[in-house]
C-alpha cells in the first residue's frame, strides 16, 4: 500500500518534451534539479506549517498577524502553482487527482480560499503536514518503506481480531458508563450517560484526566474494576500485533535467508538445466530429472 503511494512514476508522460522535463523535476528525485526541488518543497511545507501554528498563538498573532497572513497567502499561492504544474505534467490527470498525494496536495491549498468565506478554517491548513510523507522518496528511504510495509501488513493481518476487540471494548464502555451513571448519579458529576461513557473510556484506557472521579464507595469499587480491566485487556491488542509482526517479519525475510531455513542447498546447480533450488536430500534435478 505504502509502495503504491510512491509509485507515482507510473504516471510518467510517454513522449519527450517539456512535460517530461517538468515531470522529472517535480515527481522524481534522481536528477540534481529534482532533488533541489524536493528539498525546497519539504522546507516550504515545514515553514508553512510553522506559520499556521504561530498564527494560532495569541501573543504572537497580536503582533505579527499581518506578516503571518501574508506568508500564508504566499505559501498557498506557491502550492497552488505547484498543484497545477503537477496536473499539467502527468499523463493521466484523473489518476493523479484521485491518488493519495493528489488529494492531499489539493486539501493543502483549499483552507486558505475557504477561510475567506468561513473564518477559522485556515487552521485546517495543518493538513499540509501529510505532504511530508513525500520525504521518504526524497531521502531514498526505500528501506524505511519496506519496514512500514511490514507494519502495515501486520496491522492488516490482525485487523479482524482488532475489530472484534474494538467492538467488545465499545460495548464494554457503553455498559460500564451507564452503570456508573446509575451508581454515582448527577450530584457527583456524572450528569448524563454520554458523559459517563466518556469517563469510562478515560478510565479504561488508563488516561485518567481526573476531571470526574467517583466519590461513593460503590462507585469507587466499580471504578477499580474498570481500571484493573483496562490495565489487563491492553494485553490483548499487544498480543495480537506482536504475533502479526513476528509472522510478517518472517515472511519478509530476504529470499536467501528464507531459503536457508527451508533446507535448500543453494549452491547445488543442475549440470543439465542450470537451475537451482534443490533440497539438500535431492539426488536428481527436480526440473529436468538429470542426476545432480
Strand partners, 264: 279
State which residue, 88 or 174, has the beta carbon closest to its own copies.
174
State which residue, 17 or 210, has the beta carbon closest to its own copies.
210
Q: Nine-digit cell at 57?
A: 498563538
Q: Residues with Cβ < 8 Å from 190, sequence gap 6 or more?
A: 180, 181, 184, 196, 199, 212
> x/- contact string, 248-277, with its own copies (CB under 8 A)?
-x------------xx-------------x
Maximum Cα–Cα distance for the chain, whole Å?
A: 88
- Which positions from 99 through 128 interact with its own copies, judged by CB under 8 A? 120-121, 123-124, 126-127
State which residue, 81 or 142, has the beta carbon closest to its own copies.
142
- Which positions from 35 through 64 interact with its own copies, judged by CB under 8 A? 49, 52-53, 56-58
Is residue 212 within 8 A of residue 190, CB to CB? The reply is yes
Contact between 230 and its own copies by CB under 8 A: the answer reads yes
Least gap, CB of 99 to its own copies (angstroms): 18
- Which positions from 167 through 196 interact with its own copies, judged by CB under 8 A? 169, 171, 174-175, 178, 181-182, 186, 191-195
Q: Which listed residue (15, 62, 143, 267) binds its own copies by CB under 8 A?
A: 143
Q: Which listed residue (47, 81, 142, 207) binds its own copies by CB under 8 A?
A: 207
State which residue, 81 or 266, has the beta carbon closest to its own copies.
266
Alpha-carbon distances of 191 from 168, 199, 206, 209, 223, rounded to whole Å? 25, 11, 21, 17, 17
Contact between 97 and its own copies by CB under 8 A: the answer reads no
Least gap, CB of 125 to its own copies (angstroms): 9
What's the rounded Cα separation, in Å, for the pair 49 and 155? 29
Structure-derived torsion over alpha carbons of residues 27, 32, 33, 36, reported in degrees to the nearest 10: 90
Stretch near its own copies under the rule CB under 8 A, chosen from 31-39, 40-48, 82-90, 160-168? 160-168
Is residue 118 within 8 A of residue 125, CB to CB? The reply is no
Eight-state DSSP code of residue 28: -
Is residue 2 within 8 A of residue 149, CB to CB? The reply is yes
Amino acid at each position: 500500500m505504502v509502495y503504491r503511494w510512491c509509485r507515482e512514476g507510473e504516471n510518467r508522460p510517454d513522449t519527450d518534451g517539456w512535460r517530461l522535463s517538468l515531470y522529472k523535476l517535480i515527481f522524481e528525485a534522481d536528477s540534481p534539479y529534482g532533488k533541489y526541488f524536493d528539498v525546497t518543497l519539504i522546507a516550504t511545507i515545514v515553514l508553512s506549517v510553522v506559520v499556521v501554528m504561530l498564527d494560532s498563538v495569541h501573543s504572537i498573532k497580536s503582533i505579527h498577524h499581518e506578516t503571518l497572513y501574508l506568508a500564508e497567502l504566499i505559501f498557498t499561492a506557491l502550492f497552488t502553482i505547484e498543484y497545477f504544474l503537477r496536473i499539467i505534467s502527468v499523463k493521466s490527470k484523473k489518476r493523479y487527482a484521485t491518488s493519495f498525494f493528489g488529494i492531499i496536495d489539493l486539501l493543502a491549498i483549499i483552507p486558505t480560499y475557504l477561510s475567506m468565506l468561513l473564518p477559522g478554517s485556515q487552521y485546517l491548513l495543518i493538513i499540509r503536514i501529510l505532504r511530508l510523507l513525500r520525504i521518504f522518496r526524497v531521502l531514498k528511504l526505500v528501506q524505511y518503506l519496506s519496514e512500514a510495509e511490514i507494519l502495515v501488513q501486520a496491522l492488516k493481518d490482525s485487523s479482524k481480531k482488532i475489530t472484534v476487540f474494538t467492538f467488545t471494548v465499545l460495548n464494554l464502555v457503553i455498559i460500564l458508563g451507564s452503570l456508573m451513571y446509575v451508581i454515582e448519579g448527577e450530584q457527583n458529576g456524572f450528569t448524563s450517560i454520554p458523559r459517563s461513557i466518556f469517563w469510562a473510556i478515560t478510565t479504561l484506557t488508563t488516561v485518567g484526566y481526573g476531571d470526574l472521579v467517583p466519590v461513593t464507595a460503590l462507585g469507587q469499587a466499580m471504578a477499580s474494576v474498570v481500571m484493573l480491566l483496562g490495565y489487563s485487556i491492553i494485553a490483548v491488542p499487544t498480543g495480537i500485533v506482536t504475533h502479526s509482526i513476528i509472522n510478517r517479519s518472517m515472511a519478509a525475510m530476504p529470499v536467501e535467508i528464507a531459503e536457508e531455513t527451508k533446507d535448500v542447498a543453494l549452491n547445488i546447480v543442475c549440470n543439465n538445466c542450470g537451475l537451482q533450488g534443490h533440497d539438500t536430500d535431492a539426488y536428481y534435478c527436480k526440473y529436468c530429472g538429470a542426476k545432480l
